[in-house]
Amino acid sequence: MSRTVDIIVIGGGHAGVEAAWAASSVLPNGTVAFLTMDASTIGVMSCNPAIGGLGKGQIVREIDALGGVMAQAIDATGIMFKMLNTSKGPAVWGPRAQADKDEYRDEVQHMIASRNNIEVIEATVDDIIVENGEVTGVMLDEPLLAKAVVLTTGTFMRGLMHTGEAQNKGGRVGEGTAEGISATLKRLGFELGRLKTGTPPRLSKKSIDWDSLPSQLGDKNPTPFSDLPTDNFPPLPQVDCRITATTKEMHQLIRDNLDKAPMYSGAIDAESGPRYCPSIEDKVVRFADRDAHHVFLEPETVHGDSIYCNGISTSLPADIQEKIIPMMKGCKDAVILQMGYAVEYDIVRPHQINATCESKLVRGLFLAGQINGTSGYEEAAGQGLLAGLNAARLVQGEETIVLGRDQAYIGVMMDDLVTTMPREPYRMFTSRAEHRLLLRADNSDERLTRFGRDLGLVDEERWETWVARAHHLEEIRHQMKELNLGKLVKKSDTPIVEIVSKLPKKLDPRLIRRVVTDVRYEGYIVRQQSEIKRQAKTEGRKIPAGLNPNEISGLRNEAVDVLKEFKPATLGQASRLAGITPADITLISIAVVRFNSNV
């Protein structure tokens, strides 16, 4: 007997959680079946127990402005909050927080359980049902039917873990693998790739000479990620990290054993690992002239014993890991609780999805997270939110949504994914966003909350909070004018505290800083906005699916091939494809006009 729900979300990682949550917000009277291998691992942090960072923190703020889970979960469970990059301009500040990873997982599960219309089902999905190019459900013991399916397999699709020569099937230590789904996707015509990533060893805090090491503290006045009001922030006790470093001797031992590290030696049958999060094997070879690299010792929970060694992800054999750890200062007697390991896994090459996360091959099948070749919780969560939103819109019979590069980092990421062929895990950076003065962490609500409200993502409480904040921002601008502070505010070396001291006490210093930033960037922002307006005509112009690249008059063969491979949805996307020139865009746009006038 089959059963029917509205939407199926497969995978309980960060992408799956946001997808299920967003879909359940948009369809409050619908049913979202949330299928995952093991319900107790929903919301687990696979690697680093931290959320946010440069570029990534902006994504978390955008998820919050759109009513998502991640910001609220980290605010409830963060144990060290730090605003990164504060020596640079506020456009590139990046909020980051370490989490108590057990509490984080529990908080996410608690939020999911609070939604009556999300039904969690434990199952490993091997088969997706497709009829006439449209998804109709998944095959469990019985068919489970739905109009839309969101697939978020993370590092689990044919996941294979390596520690030296030891290999274990699985996407994460102690967990299983999704074996069947790769074959299903291939059968449906998808081109798969294979990527790899790694994680460092975890040490017992008790066995580290903790007090001998310099500490790294969080911010004195931590900034929450979420815009929702909280009385008690941060609710958990705050911890400090310690800093140690690799040594010359350690580098030598690693060099002597490179052939035993599958992440490095080529024994892993995958294209590439994350260049921006390299293994220690990679680092000692790539930066051969350096005698030491920082290693941050980060508590994984408030009260537990496990310490994450940020900076030395490795796939070296266990006996070598046992030898290198004691070579770091403070770690002479350190006990390894869990060995570092690498994991290789299948991905779907992302040129096969639209910027809405919907696959081009199967109507109603959405892909989000690590399956699209990205790396990181935040990137996964951002895609998950968009996929869940669009799956719900498809069910409603509404047009799916694309976020612009000038609207959100999530929009930048989606556009990058569908216009490039990533050969290594894709990670967000502020440098990827050409409009980063507009896309700041502090103004995500201004950019997205009304938009989210119109789409059904933003609830009453968040909406009212935003309306009140918008009035507050207006009041600050008004007071600055009234008190004639214009010149003082514009001068980039006037300290914020001085401006705050001249304004009425009732005004929030964080929001004052935001208005000051707007004023100081005003000239650049106006220029960026007029550039965006200028490009808007080409940017959003749709390329009809029926336009055959072979029939575009005068188009070079290379451009024809690129168009066939990527099937860009708009002229803007086409213009960013490698192999497409401005002259090609002119020919394509003429062909679009002709095509449209003939239909």
Ligand X SMILES: Cc1cc2nc3c(=O)[nH]c(=O)nc-3n(C[C@H](O)[C@H](O)[C@H](O)COP(=O)(O)OP(=O)(O)OC[C@H]3O[C@@H](n4cnc5c(N)ncnc54)[C@H](O)[C@@H]3O)c2cc1C
Q: Which is nearer to ligand X, 17 or 79 (CB)?
A: 17
Q: Which stretch binds ligand X (CB under 6 A): 151-159, 213-221, 297-305, 537-545?
A: 151-159
Among 21, 104, 190, 377, binds ligand X (CB under 6 A): 377
Enter the tokens of residue 351.
């040129």
User: Least distance (Å) from ligand X to the CB of residue 426?
Assistant: 10
Preceding omega of 234 cis (within 30 degrees of 0):
yes
**Neighbour tally for 519: CB within 10 Å:** 17
Determine, following the binding rule CB under 6 A, whether residue 51 of this chain makes contact with ligand X. no
Determine, following the binding rule CB under 6 A, whether residue 125 of this chain makes contact with ligand X. yes
DSSP designation for 361: S
Q: Which stretch binds ligand X (CB under 6 A): 91-99, 142-150, 171-179, 416-424?
A: 171-179
Determine, following the binding rule CB under 6 A, whether residue 172 of this chain makes contact with ligand X. yes
Determine, following the binding rule CB under 6 A, whether residue 41 of this chain makes contact with ligand X. yes
Determine, following the binding rule CB under 6 A, whether residue 338 of this chain makes contact with ligand X. no
> Which residue has tokens 């220029």?
527
CA dist 566 and 456 (Å) reads 31
Q: Which is nearer to ligand X, 12 or 234 (CB)?
A: 12
Q: Which is nearer to ligand X, 15 or 485 (CB)?
A: 15
Q: Which is nearer to ligand X, 149 or 448 (CB)?
A: 149
Enter the tokens of residue 282.
């990679």
Determine, following the binding rule CB under 6 A, whether residue 178 of this chain makes contact with ligand X. yes
Q: Which stretch binds ligand X (CB under 6 A): 128-136, 376-384, 405-413, 525-533?
A: 376-384
Closest by Cα among 462, 467, 471, 481 to 508 = 471
Cβ atoms 297, 203 nearer than 8 A: yes
Cβ atoms 559, 579 nearer than 8 A: yes
**Chain-centre distance of CA 335, in angstroms?**
32
Cβ atoms 465, 64 nearer than 8 A: no
CA dist 456 and 23 (Å) reads 9
- Bridge partners of 143, per DSSP, are 139
Q: Which is nearer to ligand X, 183 or 526 (CB)?
A: 183
Q: Which stretch binds ligand X (CB under 6 A): 140-148, 154-162, 186-194, 254-262?
A: 154-162
CA dist 340 and 260 (Å) reads 14
Cβ atoms 274, 375 nearer than 8 A: yes
- 58's CB contacts (< 8 A; 6+ apart) are 94, 409, 428, 430, 439, 440, 441, 444
Enter the tokens of residue 381.
């969560």
User: Least distance (Å) from ligand X to the CB of residue 253?
Assistant: 22
CA dist 369 and 365 (Å) reads 14
**Binding-site residue total for ligand X (CB under 6 A)?**
37
Task: Report the amino acid identity of residue 355.
Answer: A
Q: Which is nearer to ligand X, 12 or 52 (CB)?
A: 12
Among 23, 112, 146, 277, binds ligand X (CB under 6 A): 277
Among 24, 25, 36, 575, binds ligand X (CB under 6 A): 36
H/E stretch holding 419 reads helix 409-419
Q: Which is nearer to ligand X, 10 or 325 (CB)?
A: 10
User: Least distance (Å) from ligand X to the CB of residue 342?
Assistant: 7
User: Interface residues for ligand X in 181-200 (CB under 6 A)?
Assistant: 181, 197-199
User: Least distance (Å) from ligand X to the CB of residue 267?
Assistant: 16
User: Interface residues for ligand X in 2-21 (CB under 6 A)?
Assistant: 10-16
Q: Report the SS3 class of residue 120.
A: strand
User: Least distance (Å) from ligand X to the CB of residue 51?
Assistant: 11
Cβ atoms 397, 30 nearer than 8 A: no
User: Least distance (Å) from ligand X to the CB of residue 459?
Assistant: 23
Q: Which is nearer to ligand X, 342 or 476 (CB)?
A: 342
CA dist 243 and 427 (Å) reads 25
User: Least distance (Å) from ligand X to the CB of residue 482?
Assistant: 47
Among 369, 382, 404, 422, binds ligand X (CB under 6 A): 369
Q: What are phi and psi of 245, to 5 degrees?
A: -155, 155
Q: Which is nearer to ligand X, 234 or 273 (CB)?
A: 273
Residues binding ligand X (CB under 6 A) = 10-16, 35-37, 41, 46-47, 124-125, 152-156, 171-172, 178, 181, 197-199, 274, 277, 313, 343, 369-370, 375-377, 380
